[in-house]
Structure 1
Amino acid sequence: MLRTIRSDQLRPGMYVQRLSGSWLDHPFWRSSFLADAEAVSRIRDSGVPELVIDVSLGLAPEADAHLPAEAAPAPAPAPAPQPQPEPAQAAQPPSAPAAPRKGVANFENEVRNARQLLASGRALVEAMFSEARLGRAIDPDAADPLVDAVCDSVLRNPHALVSVARLKTADDYTYLHSMAVAGLMTALARRLGLPEDAVHAAAKGGLLHDMGKAVAPLHVLNKPGSLTEDEYSTMRRHPEDGHRLLLESGVDDAAALDIALHHHEKMDGTGYPHRLPGERISQMARMAAVCDVYDAITSDRPYKRGWCPAESLKRMASWTGHFDPAIFQAFVKSLGIYPVGTLVRLQSQHLAVVIEQVPTALLKPRVRIFHCTRRQARVLMRDVDLSLAGCDDRIVQSEAPGDWGLRDLEKLWLP
């Protein structure tokens, strides 16, 4: 039987079924667990105003513990998932309902939301990895609120989350890579015109695609140099490890299982683990192959700096036999020929950074001019929409920030 109580009424021995408020605001990964003294303290300190307890699985509030079950106040109207008791120490960072869908947001506003979402999502993914390393079954359903939040963010603005996620540090790569791929999968699925339930499945598959790395040796996973042949063989096992881990955790989501197992397959049959030819690779796995590689090569890693977004797309386009051409084309359209954050040279002999896409003119995004190549000097920054009818400037080519001594290019385009 479910009861809604204030957080100051919670005491050890009660079974917490659900926490109120946004999952971004409280410190728990799972919201269903048997509370001990530490969990009670953490919930009270988190500022969560109310929570739902299940008195059939734990203690009842003192005020009505003497009452027969039928006399207790009515349960909360919202149905709760079937409880699965677990020790309180399994409750880790965040989980709870996602924010409701909202209308289209401009890039700057959504970037602010994306930063908070990535910070909270990183904590959730790290907690899932920690559970797996300890030999515990993960709870993939606990990620659903995060998946909903990612889908909502990309719906409000398709470029904000994926642009911010690309800026992860090498230390954050393992966890934020999962968040980035979830965002890229969401944008790609919508570009392909998939129904919303398939969009959600693609996002969840992206979030869980690398769970096999949770059981990889940390000295190999975080190695700053090139891997030996044995170490590379170890890392190549992560698709099968992830598939097994998800199955052992009770995952029956066909898309998530397929993505975990086959996101490193290639169209020409040279991928791993099963060297599947293109016609045997599912659409979801083909999508994940593109999204996984793009985020990997554009991110800073322990052993290399990431490539610029436009150069990455150009190189990926040249890899014959690697990607499904139709899916790759849709992926490029979802990001833009010159993704947000790309350094470009203009016909007017200026350097600029791309700050926003124009969906109807992929070669003519909005840019922020900041440097004159002719005078080799900074200029007063100004924003230009290259797609406007009266604009006679255009992009000549993308540039490598390192060639111009630019190490913090994001400071020019992030709000």
Structure 2
Amino acid sequence: MTQDKSVLIVSDRPDRVRLLARAITTIMPCRSVLGDQSAPAILPVVAVIDLDPRDGVAAAWVVRLLAMRVPCLVLTNAPAHIPDRANPALRVTAADTPRPTILSLLFSLIDAGEKLRTRHAGETAALEGRAHRACSVVADLFHAAQADRPISSEEADAGTDVILEAVSEGGIRAWLEVIGRYDELLYQHSLSVAGFAAAFGFHLKIPRADRKRLAKAALLHDIGKSKIPLAILNKPGALTSAEMATMRTHAAAGADMLARQEGFDAAMLDVVRHHHEMLDGSGYPAGLTGDAIPDLVRLVTICDIHSALTERRAYRNPLPHAEAHAIMLGMTGKLDMPLLRAFQPIVLQSSHGDALV
């Protein structure tokens, strides 16, 4: 989205909008939308949210606009309903605040927004550098596997460390935005699943060594696809039963490949071999059920399915994160539901660009 020098007012109160817009227009162009409308294609430099906060619409606008780096001034008499009030790009003031004070607050937010965008530009450049390094690692690992050369555990460790650092500092949404620009979907998927795994591990507060094992396993989970013909991997439609049978060999092939080398422990090999297993036994390659599927595998399976649903494919557009999560919540008996519910905060962190609901 592009940005212009304007103020956006989001309000369901026409009389207040007219008075406020008249005052704001003396210093800057002003536009207004209703609370149930979408954000404009051209973003403002600052937004005023004047909605009843109790139904959640005001909070949803704040979350979305802040995610798009638009500073927000919220006019409300119920500030407790507004999230992220410590954010420097957010001001919350009483609904009956005098208009001169509102104009003063808007000026301060415009200045704060400029500083945040400058800082963000530097952070984005650093994140893009990390993503490039991680993608290079993934490419090297897949090329080695394809050519039957040794797969370096040390190189996988280095790539995993980059991803852990990037997600820790920038968050999962920023990571997905950067890697989403890559054309090679197989590498993008590996980076996406590893990013989700890193974010999930941070959220669950598991020890760093276990977080690294989780993210490394996620990074390598599809290494067996290096042996799948590109005509099948990139087919822009449904696979035939024979093609699907070939595709399903990737899990065991990847685990067998890593098992012949050093540096990949049994828990990691389980992830690579069994990340398509389902709790009800309907998965592959072994048809494992229930307790036979380790927790680490269950974690990566959730990250893998969510990532696959929300990525672009030759045969479909990506699903919004909330819709993908809803589909997965319908997979009762197949996925670990307590873990899937624990994954919801990661979904929310990834969803800031989705449509308001």
Normalising by structure 2, what TM-score?
0.63
- What is the match of residue 318 of structure 1? 330
> What does residue range 262-301 of structure 1 map to in structure 2 within 5 Å?
262-301=274-313
Q: Is the 1:265–1:272 Cα contact (8 Å) retained in structure 2?
A: yes
- What is the match of residue 401 of structure 1? none
> What does residue range 10-409 of structure 1 map to in structure 2 within 5 Å?
110-164=123-177, 167-168=180-181, 171-336=183-348, 339-344=351-356, 397=357
What CA distance in whole angstroms lies between the structure 2 residues aligned with 1:338 and 1:144?
A: 25
Q: Residue deviations 1:343-372, cap 9 Å, x none?
A: 21xxxxxxxxxxxxxxxxxxxxxxxxxxxx
Q: Is the 2:278–2:288 Cα contact (8 Å) retained in structure 1?
A: yes
What CA distance in whole angstroms lies between the structure 2 residues aligned with 1:302 and 1:265?
A: 25
Pairwise CA RMSD: 2.0
Q: Look up the equivalent residue of 1:202 and give its one-letter code.
A: L
Residue range with higher mean Cα deviation, 135-144 or 334-343 = 334-343
Deviation at 1:233, TM superposition (A): 0.5
Q: Look up the equivalent residue of 1:239 and give its one-letter code.
A: A
What CA distance in whole angstroms lies between the structure 2 residues aligned with 1:111 and 1:182?
A: 19
Mark the CA change 1:208 to 1:160 in structure 2 (over 3 Å): closer, same or farther. Answer: same
Deviation at 1:288, TM superposition (A): 0.6
Mark the CA change 1:113 to 1:335 in structure 2 (over 3 Å): closer, same or farther. Answer: farther
Q: Is the 2:180–2:188 Cα contact (8 Å) retained in structure 1?
A: no
Where in structure 2 are there 5+ consecutive unaligned residues?
Answer: 1-118
Mark the CA change 1:112 to 1:316 in structure 2 (over 3 Å): closer, same or farther. Answer: farther
Q: Residue deviations 1:99-153, cap 9 Å, x none?
A: xxxxxxx877644433222222222211211111112121121121221111112
Q: Look up the equivalent residue of 1:260 and give its one-letter code.
A: V
Structure 1: 4+ residue segments shifted above 6 A:
none
Deviation at 1:301, TM superposition (A): 1.3
Mark the CA change 1:184 to 1:143 in structure 2 (over 3 Å): closer, same or farther. Answer: same
Larger strand share, 1 or 2:
1
Deviation at 1:207, TM superposition (A): 0.6
Q: Is the 1:162–1:184 Cα contact (8 Å) retained in structure 2?
A: no
Q: Look up the equivalent residue of 2:290 and give its one-letter code.
A: G
Q: Look up the equivalent residue of 1:308 and give its one-letter code.
A: P
Q: Look up the equivalent residue of 1:273 and give its one-letter code.
A: P
Q: Residue deviations 1:320-359, cap 9 Å, x none?
A: 2221111111111223177232121xxxxxxxxxxxxxxx
Deviation at 1:168, TM superposition (A): 4.6
SS in 2 for 1:341: coil
Q: Is the 1:210–1:260 Cα contact (8 Å) retained in structure 2?
A: yes
What CA distance in whole angstroms lies between the structure 2 residues aligned with 1:199 and 1:234?
A: 32
Q: Is the 1:202–1:255 Cα contact (8 Å) retained in structure 2?
A: no
What CA distance in whole angstroms lies between the structure 2 residues aligned with 1:168 and 1:133?
A: 24
Q: Look up the equivalent residue of 2:300 and give its one-letter code.
A: A
Deviation at 1:159, TM superposition (A): 2.5
- What is the match of residue 90 of structure 1? none
What CA distance in whole angstroms lies between the structure 2 residues aligned with 1:215 and 1:270?
A: 24
Q: Is the 1:168–1:300 Cα contact (8 Å) retained in structure 2?
A: no
What CA distance in whole angstroms lies between the structure 2 residues aligned with 1:107 and 1:331?
A: 27
Q: Is the 1:239–1:261 Cα contact (8 Å) retained in structure 2?
A: yes
SS in 2 for 1:264: coil
Q: Look up the equivalent residue of 1:244 and give its one-letter code.
A: D
- What is the match of residue 92 of structure 2? none
What CA distance in whole angstroms lies between the structure 2 residues aligned with 1:109 and 1:146?
A: 21
What CA distance in whole angstroms lies between the structure 1 residues aligned with 2:326 and 2:125?
A: 29
Q: Look up the equivalent residue of 1:113 and give its one-letter code.
A: A
What CA distance in whole angstroms lies between the structure 2 residues aligned with 1:178 and 1:107?
A: 25
Mark the CA change 1:306 to 1:314 in structure 2 (over 3 Å): closer, same or farther. Answer: same
Q: Residue deviations 1:219-244, cap 9 Å, x none?
A: 11111221110000011111100001
Q: Residue deviations 1:53-101, cap 9 Å, x none?
A: xxxxxxxxxxxxxxxxxxxxxxxxxxxxxxxxxxxxxxxxxxxxxxxxx
